Amino acid sequence: MTLMPGVAPPPDPPLDLLAPNPVPTDPRKRVYAFELERDDWVVRLVWDADDPELLEAECRAPLYGERLPRDEVPKFWSVVKELVAPLGPLPVEAADPRPAPAPRD
């Protein structure tokens, strides 16, 4: 029997708390997520096995067209840092990429 080299299996999630989060439109994707409720918002971590170097942290809050209030941002990052602490220090590639609202005259 001859074995042919194939594609390596995707890596395991970087954190034990991440659970499979199926993508209904693409059942082949291996996406993992974790959600933690805090006050009036939810911290959501998302990791995709197709892009294993990227771990996303989202703040989900019922703010329509608004940013998270300034005093809530450090609380959000504190929770994220606590959740990802087992991974050690990580680079932050982006934070709130939405542009600030234009000043009104």
- Two tokens, residue 2: 């001859």
Q: Give the per-residue pLDDT at 44.
A: 94
45 contacts: CB under 8 Å, gap ≥ 6: 15, 17, 18, 33, 34, 35, 55, 56, 57, 58, 80, 83, 84
Neighbours of 18 (CB within 10 A): 18
- Taking the complete model, does pTM exceed 0.75, yes or no? yes
**DSSP H helices in 16-104:** 73-84
List, run by run, the mean pLDDT of 10-residue segments along the chain (105 residues).
Answer: 70 94 91 92 93 90 78 88 92 67 59
CA distance 1 to 3: 7
